[in-house]
Amino acid sequence: MKFQLTTNYLEKIIRLIAKKDGNVIRDLLHEVHFADIAELLEELKPEEAAYLIKSLESKITSEALMELDEDDREKILSYLSTKEIAKEIEEMDTDDAADVVAELDDHIQKKVIEIIEDEEHASDIVELLTYDKNTAGALMAKELVQVKETWTVAGCVREMRRQAENITRVHSIYVTDKDGKLKGRLSLKDLLTASVKTHIIDVYIPKVDFVTVTTEDEEVARIMQKYDLEAIPVVDENGILVGRITIDDIVDFIKEEAEKDYQMAAGISQDVEADDSILELTKARLPWLVLGLFGGLGSVYILQGFEEALFNYPILFFFTPLIAAMAGNVGVQSSAIIVQGLANDVVKGSLFYRLLKELGLALINGTILGLLVIFFGFIVDQDFIVSITIAISMLVVIIIAALIGTFVPIILDRKGIDPAIATGPFITTSNDIFGIFLFFYIAKLILGF
**What residues from 218 to 247 belong to the interface with a copy of itself (CB under 8 A)?**
225-228, 230, 247
What kind and span of H or E run contains 157?
helix 153-164
Smallest separation (angstroms) from a copy of itself to the CB of 90? 19
List 102, 205, 297, 385, residue binding a copy of itself (CB under 8 A): 297
Nearest CA among 114, 138, 65, 58 for reference residue 91: 58
Residue number, 34 or 113, with CB nearest to a copy of itself: 34
List 336, 399, 400, 422, residue binding a copy of itself (CB under 8 A): 336
List 15, 26, 357, 414, residue binding a copy of itself (CB under 8 A): 357
Smallest separation (angstroms) from a copy of itself to the CB of 99? 15
Residue number, 109 or 299, with CB nearest to a copy of itself: 299
Fill in the per-residue mask, 128 to 167: x = in contact with a copy of itself (CB under 8 A), - = not in contact: -----------------------------x--xx--xx-x
Residue number, 113 or 409, with CB nearest to a copy of itself: 409
Cβ-count burial 159-197 (b if 16+ within 10 Å, e if not): bbeeeeeeeeeebbbbbbeeebebbbbbeeebbeebeee
Smallest separation (angstroms) from a copy of itself to the CB of 56? 17
Residue number, 12 or 283, with CB nearest to a copy of itself: 283
CB atoms within 10 A of CB 323: 24
Measured N-to-C along each axis, helices 94-103 and 70-77 cross at an angle, to the nearest 10 degrees, of 70
Contacts of 333 (CB under 8 A, 6+ apart): 402, 405
Q: How far is CA 156 from CA 240, 281, 339, in A?
A: 19, 54, 48
Distance CA 170, CA 185 (A): 12
Interaction between residue 41 and a copy of itself (CB under 8 A): no
Q: 202, 151 in Cβ contact below 8 A?
A: no
Residue number, 33 or 148, with CB nearest to a copy of itself: 33
* Residues in binding contact with a copy of itself, number by CB under 8 A: 111
- Tell me the longest C-alpha to C-alpha distance in the chain: 97
Q: Could you say which residues in the range 65-124 bind a copy of itself, by CB under 8 A? A: 67, 69
Q: Could you say which residues in the range 164-223 bind a copy of itself, by CB under 8 A? A: 164-165, 167, 169-170, 188-189, 192-193, 207, 209-210
211: DSSP letter? E
Nearest CA among 327, 344, 335 for reference residue 421: 335
List 6, 8, 237, 318, residue binding a copy of itself (CB under 8 A): 318
Residue number, 122 or 395, with CB nearest to a copy of itself: 395
Residue number, 101 or 268, with CB nearest to a copy of itself: 268
Nearest CA among 37, 171, 427 for reference residue 13: 37
Interaction between residue 335 and a copy of itself (CB under 8 A): yes
Distance CA 321, CA 298 (A): 14
Interaction between residue 413 and a copy of itself (CB under 8 A): no
Q: 331, 426 in Cβ contact below 8 A?
A: no
Smallest separation (angstroms) from a copy of itself to the CB of 372? 6
Interaction between residue 384 and a copy of itself (CB under 8 A): no
Smallest separation (angstroms) from a copy of itself to the CB of 163? 10
In terms of C-beta density within 10 A (0-12 exposed, 13-18 middle, 19 or more buried), how is residue 420 classed? buried
Distance CA 188, CA 403 (A): 53
User: Candidates 7-15, 82-90, 107-115, 356-364 — which segment interacts with a copy of itself by CB under 8 A?
Assistant: 356-364
In terms of C-beta density within 10 A (0-12 exposed, 13-18 middle, 19 or more buried), how is residue 5 classed? middle
List 137, 184, 243, 328, residue binding a copy of itself (CB under 8 A): 328
Residue number, 136 or 326, with CB nearest to a copy of itself: 326
Interaction between residue 275 and a copy of itself (CB under 8 A): yes
Distance CA 150, CA 367 (A): 72
Cβ-count burial 328-363 (b if 16+ within 10 Å, e if not): bebbbbbbbbbbbbbbeeebeeeeeebeeebeebbe
Smallest separation (angstroms) from a copy of itself to the CB of 111? 30
Amino acid identity, residue 256? E
Residue number, 27 or 209, with CB nearest to a copy of itself: 209
Smallest separation (angstroms) from a copy of itself to the CB of 302? 9
Interaction between residue 391 and a copy of itself (CB under 8 A): no
Residue number, 112 or 203, with CB nearest to a copy of itself: 203
